[in-house]
Structure 1
Amino acid sequence: MAGPVAADPLTIRPIERADRPHWERLWRGYIEFYKSTLPDEMYDLAFDRLLSGDTGEFQGFLALDGVKPVGLVHYLFHRHGWKKEQVCYLQDLYADPDVRGKGIGAALINAVYDAADKAGAPTVYWLTQEDNAQARKLYDQIGVLTDFIKYQRPA
């Protein structure tokens, strides 16, 4: 797992058990941003998965501005049918609205890039909504837009 990445006063570090209330506040903000809801038991399950240490399970980082948690990222490694190495899926990225545009998202993505490099996963990918203009400004600087369109099974 990647170690802390610091750029005074911003610190990026792995999520720890004691972070639960801060993590939940941030993740609820993320879920609400996407106009969605989850049952409370999903927060328990997701947090336990993040800290399980199980191979193939989600991992995460928190961004702290000084001592205040202001952002999070979740990611996981998985096999890919076209590559020998695993790839890294960055699933959730969120920064508090009052710190957006201050480098929090870039620092969190770079922490995932570092974790992927350490794990030997050359590919890191993620999805966002087409109209997420503020995030896409960052993504256009730190990533490459692909021509893939997502489909999923109907509910």
Structure 2
Amino acid sequence: MTTIRALLPADRDVWEPLWRGYLEFYETELSEEQTALTWNRLVDPQFPIHGALAVDEGGTAVGIVHWLTHAATWSAEPYCYLEDLFVDPSQRGAGVGRALIAHVADWAEAHGSPKVYWLTQETNTTARGLYDRVATRTGYVHYQIGLGA
């Protein structure tokens, strides 16, 4: 059985290969400095980004999830944005992704958030199969403007 737990400062060595797998899946490269900054934010209890680790029966890390909350104009309570979700490819279809999403939903509900939402690529059909079973597809289309920073 998979266990989902909060990331701990000692987890960097098991988190980072999953993080790198996530970035590779999305064909993205980040600097070592950004990865270190992301890690430090995830384990800093004063920073408003949270992370959890999925661990299998043998103690192997098999998935990660990161989320944050933000104020909203349509709600008095903050919305919860599930920003990153990755499951080791060898563990896909075994319920790890579902468990990670449920962990975030439970956390968000306990913290008064009225909803959890996330984005994925249209072509991410495997993950979308899960998402269609555990959430409502809203029909919104995502746009962004990249700024020079």
Please state if 1:61 is matched with 2:49: no
Match in the other structure for 1:31? 23
Please state if 1:20 is matched with 2:18: no
Please state if 1:49 is matched with 2:17: no
CA distance in 2, matches of 1:10, 1:152: 35
Which residues in structure 2 correspond to 1:5-154 (within 5 Å)? Answer: 9-54=1-46, 57-66=48-57, 67-154=59-146
Structure 1 counterpart SS, 2:45: coil
Q: TM-score, normalised by structure 2?
A: 0.95
CA distance in 2, matches of 1:74, 1:112: 8
Give the CA RMSD over aligned residues: 0.9
CA distance in 2, matches of 1:112, 1:122: 12
Q: TM-score, normalised by structure 1?
A: 0.92
Structure 2 counterpart of 1:51, one-letter code: V
CA distance in 2, matches of 1:54, 1:88: 17
Once superposed, which parts of structure 1, at least 4 consecutive aligned residues long, lie more than 3 Å away? none
Unaligned runs of 5+ in 1: 1-8
